[in-house]
Structure 1
Amino acid sequence: MTILRTFTGNLLFARRRRSAAIAFAACLSLSACEPGSSLPPLPETAATPYTLGPGETVRVVVFGQTQLTGEFIVSDRGFVSIPLLGDVPANNETADQLAQTISSELVDKKLLLNPSVSVEVVKYRPVFILGEVQKPGQYPYEPGMTALTLAAIAGGFTYRAQTGYVSVLRKTDGHVVEGRAPRGEEIQPGDVVTVYERYF
């Protein structure tokens, strides 16, 4: 009887170890196929001056000319409408380039001889966050914003969220790229961030 009990106990122990090993292997395989885990890393973006895009608001200051100074929205066609000048191209221009264009237009149209113009962005293109956050949607971009701070603004992660990494969809040089990024990744205006659901 004692021998039989010992044999039965050893058999049950072996089965439990085998079940645990199978479960562990299953966990590893699930980890390997977590949503978004197969995405390539987000390509590094070269440090270049920020360029304007539709939907952003810029403040134009023409020193000594209050009628030409104000805040203007970059239209869907990529122009800002400046008093006395009409539509001035702004899409894919830096703030300094737009200031130079406005200055040149003022001279060419003989409105001012030696204008002093400055341009700054006061409202950036929005960013978007989808997936496992409390309040997915569109949010204003702020310089220095990371995927984690965007998730915090969106109410924080849900209990199902994969919090180690996110997906970032980004338009670069006219091309749309998507890649996996750590949650501390700095995001850019127009980015779409997706927080995935974890399997376990």
Structure 2
Amino acid sequence: MMTRELKGIIQLIFCALCLGFATACQSTVTTQAPSGAPTDSANQAYDGEYRLGPADQLRVTVFGHDDLSNQYTVASNGTISFPLIGDVEAAGLTVTEFQRITEQRLSEGFLKSPRVTAEIMTFRPFYILGEVSRAGEYPYTNRLTVLNAIATAGGFSHRANRKVIAIKSFNDTEERRVELTPSTYVQPGDTIRVLERFF
């Protein structure tokens, strides 16, 4: 006959095993950041493969053909108007992809084995709005931080929120909020909105 004390010990051991199992299951669940919280996706300098867009200016060289080599600007419709071959699609392409397409178009009855190189002379601008002294359009430079961009726009207004800003990237339809740090970077074509503080 099992004593009352022994039954109690067995029940305690069973409860402890169940509690340990439940804790192990909970540890596998990934905690998600609350929606609307600032993200850190802007805390990277631009160092990926750049995608061309309207207002980018390129120096295009066609070897052996100085009459075709020139500086060209991507139009608002995403194309570059090129001699002989007309409009060449540029928006959304890398520089390498644009070079290949231009070579292909030139080889279609115009030039034999053309060689084309392109380099970005001027990136498309960025835009800064909201609580700054001089909102507007400004030229992008490599490794430009948001703090430097704000300084270019005359600095914060006295009502500015200096902790969180809103950024809408060139290809995005909605802005996102990011924490403002010394390593918050601007990307070409970004629209930065300096928010108002409410205290």
TM bucket, shorter chain: 0.7 to 0.9
Percent pairwise identity:
34
Distance (Å, rounded) in 2 between the aligned partners of 1:39 and 1:138: 27
Question: Paired residue for 2:152?
Answer: 153
For the residue of structure 2 that corresponds to 1:66, the secondary structure is coil
Distance (Å, rounded) in 2 between the aligned partners of 1:39 and 1:193: 17
Distance (Å, rounded) in 2 between the aligned partners of 1:177 and 1:163: 17
Look up the equivalent residue of 1:44 and give its one-letter code. Answer: S
Matched, 1:61 2:61: yes
Structure 1, unpaired ranges of 5+: 1-37
Equivalent residue for 1:180, pick from 170, 178, 181: 178
Look up the equivalent residue of 2:178 and give its one-letter code. Answer: R
Aligned residue runs from structure 1 range 26-105, under 5 A: 39-42=36-39, 44=41, 48-105=48-105
Distance (Å, rounded) in 2 between the aligned partners of 1:171 and 1:94: 15
> Is the contact made by 1:132 and 1:161 (CA closer than 8 Å) also made in structure 2?
yes
Question: Paired residue for 2:18?
Answer: none
Look up the equivalent residue of 2:143 and give its one-letter code. Answer: G
TM-score (norm 1): 0.72
Q: CA deviation at 1:116?
A: 1.8
Question: Paired residue for 2:139?
Answer: 140
Distance (Å, rounded) in 2 between the aligned partners of 1:136 and 1:180: 19
Look up the equivalent residue of 1:82 and give its one-letter code. Answer: F
For the residue of structure 2 that corresponds to 1:51, the secondary structure is coil
> Is the contact made by 1:63 and 1:116 (CA closer than 8 Å) also made in structure 2?
yes
Q: CA deviation at 1:145?
A: 1.0
Q: Deviation string for 1:41-98 (max 9, x for gaps)?
A: 2463796411111122111111221111011111122110111111111110111111
Q: CA deviation at 1:177?
A: 4.1
For the residue of structure 2 that corresponds to 1:130, the secondary structure is strand
For the aligned residues, what is the CA RMSD? Answer: 2.2
Distance (Å, rounded) in 1 between the aligned partners of 2:113 and 2:39: 45
Question: Paired residue for 1:7?
Answer: none
Structure 2, unpaired ranges of 5+: 1-34
For the residue of structure 1 that corresponds to 2:160, the secondary structure is coil
Name the structure with the higher helix share. 1
Moved over 6 A (4+): none
